[in-house]
Amino acid sequence: MSAPLIHDITSVRSLGEHRLHLVFDDGTKGDVDIARLIEFRGIFEPLRDVQQFQRVYVDPEAGTIVWPNGADLDPLVLYAAVTKQSVESLLAAGTPR
């Protein structure tokens, strides 16, 4: 079975509140409301504060978005959210990177 296709995030822009505009290395782009994906507990708790949340940036080595406190999100989960697919369907596709 092949590994799932995981696209790196190349650009992030805050849209206000907990919404982000993401661009992936395959040209896919779209908006995602992070508050629908995570609970603001643990390492994510400081991100409840919109000013802290908006400090998001792309870590090019990790290929995903991160915050100064070390919080990050799996690019596969974000790709699924932007493309309105399930993580399971992307994993099942098994396209090699």
The CATH class of the 9-87 domain is alpha beta
Provide the pLDDT confidence category of residue 96 given band limits of 50, 70 and 90: very low
Q: Which amino acid is at 24?
A: F
pLDDT tens-digit profile of 11-53? 999 999 999 999 999 999 999 999 999 999 999 999 999 999 9
Domain ranges of the chain: 9-87
- The DSSP annotation for the chain comes to -PPPP-PPEEEEEE-STTEEEEEETTS-EEEEEGGGT--S-GGGGGGGSHHHHTT-EEETTTTEEE-TTS-B--HHHHHHHHHT--HHHHHHH----
